[in-house]
Structure 1
């Protein structure tokens, strides 16, 4: 499992798409800290709660509105690529199917953890403060997106299909999630409890539920993968 995790983690850094995404996170972190200090110096109208989150608002928005698109865009074929190229046969003969799923999931999640940690460290250098709650909330979203990506890659056999859906779902997910969270329609409002945004509204430990939801998705992915012929 650790070898698969390491391989997936290193693989996530390769390619022009990875470089672009990492650059976007680092640039967003830099300007979030830089401009937030400027805003605070020019205005005293911010409340204490707004002052606590203004430094990280850029990264938070990036994680919520583009996180799914970034994660699926880079790792949409993490499992079905192996099946399509038949390299999965070499893996299943050397390790368990659970190790494959958990290894790939942890490798993807670790990549985004490093990206977020680096971004928050950059912000903390400028503002001399590290917001652990918002960091963990953003990380929990990345874990959720990683689990969803692995699940889709197990459910859908063709990499070309997951590549297409990575764009569609990546763009539609934050819009749908935001609507479900805010709507008063009883027919759909219950969906907010299985989607992550609802658990990031307040600065508390509700984000732990997001990790639980991610665990459920990985468990489903494992059940499906165990029944699939490779």
Structure 2
């Protein structure tokens, strides 16, 4: 599992798309923190909001485009191996469960490092790191990674997951925010399976996001075990 995770982690740093996303993260973190005082002077904020104003740019970026970024880099993490038939070599060396969780670990570690560095950049201006906000954001990324792996297992063609990744990445935040606030009884139940409902709460509800990610990984593993390679 760790060998697969290490391989996935290193491969993510090699692509031009990865470099571009890392640059976007760092630039957004730096300038949103640097010019946060302009936002504080323009609107009235509570004490809690004023403390977290330094991370508003980074959080907005992840809420709106986090799913798009994750799927853009890892939409074919599993089905690429199946399509190129390298999965046959992997399954002779390790279990399918190790492949799934190794892939997840490698992708998760990549985003963990990106997020940690971004928060360190904002801490230069804020003189602190809000562990609660950091944990919420990491739980969101964990959910997005698990969803990406699930779709990569469900859909066998990498080309289709690339297209679907763009569609899901752009539409998922919109739908997620809508179902978390709508009063429509036919769709309001969906808020309990999206991360945005739990992110709106100032308690440890974000742990439910990690639980949902675990469920998606469990489903992905069950499907992958039964798939012909």
User: TM-score band, normalised by the shorter chain?
Assistant: over 0.9
- The answer for the alignment partner of 2:65 in structure 1 is 66
Contact persistence 1:12–1:111 (CA under 8 A): yes
Query: Displacement, 1:109?
Result: 1.1
- The answer for the alignment partner of 1:156 in structure 2 is 155
What's the TM-score once normalised by structure 1's chain length? Answer: 0.97
- Distance in 2, Cα, partners of 1:89 & 1:134: 41
Query: Displacement, 1:6?
Result: 0.6
* Secondary structure of residue in 2 paired with 1:77: coil
What's the TM-score once normalised by structure 2's chain length? Answer: 0.97
- The answer for the alignment partner of 1:26 in structure 2 is 26
- Distance in 2, Cα, partners of 1:122 & 1:175: 28
- Distance in 2, Cα, partners of 1:44 & 1:141: 27
Deviations 1:186-222 (A, max 9, x none): 1100100010001111232111000000000000000
Contact persistence 1:67–1:142 (CA under 8 A): yes
For residues 43-192 of structure 1, the aligned pairs below 5 Å read 45-192=44-191
Q: Are 1:208 and 2:207 an aligned pair? A: yes
- Distance in 2, Cα, partners of 1:203 & 1:9: 32
Query: Displacement, 1:43?
Result: 5.7
Q: For structure 2, list consecutive stretches of 5 or more residues without a partner in the other structure.
A: none
Q: Are 1:227 and 2:226 an aligned pair? A: yes
Query: Displacement, 1:38?
Result: 4.0
Q: For structure 1, list consecutive stretches of 5 or more residues without a partner in the other structure.
A: none
- The number of residue pairs the alignment matches comes to 229
Deviations 1:148-181 (A, max 9, x none): 0100000000000100000000000000001101
Query: Displacement, 1:55?
Result: 1.0
